[in-house]
Structure 1
């Protein structure tokens, strides 16, 4: 991932509602969620949600698809992996013991349950 794309993705996530939307979609899995359900879960008005989803989409973090009359949004896991890879590419200057549990899936799940 190039620096400008990383900056755009991080900027998109640097807002409480957008971060909440992204985390909700990550938890929802590939099936995604309809816009109305996202708005209810996050507690934002539909027009405000639309703006947030557009920003996340332009940053490569969210996909959308139409199913009948509904628009279904899902996390772009490839975009998420690219961003995470960018963030840890130079992690710990080659000293993995500094990063500790960052790369331990069980520790991440435990930490996520506490967040």
Structure 2
């Protein structure tokens, strides 16, 4: 596995640990539907959080969260809809982004809730 992939996996591990620590139940990791992949599906109460994890190892001129394009958002919505229907869930759905920035030996994690509000 390449260094980039290993860093991405580490970012997802940190995101999952953060979510669990903050009262979320992890329902699924790396959920795939057609060409879409959801990094983490987590639930807290009656809210299902569809979580995109973005990890970077240095400062960027743009926000890490802003690197998610319209195509990716469309795929996330399609996969989330499939997951909810397939599992016959009656929940509110929210799209979150967790950004993880590595600075030296430390990590800065930011949880952005309700990033894509289309409904």
Both structures adopt the same fold (TM-score exceeding 0.5): no
- Relative to total residues, which structure has the larger helix share, 1 or 2? 1
TM-score (norm: length of structure 2): 0.26
The structure number with the bigger radius of gyration is 1
Instruction: Output the TM-score relative to the length of structure 1.
Output: 0.27
Higher strand proportion (structure 1 or 2): 2
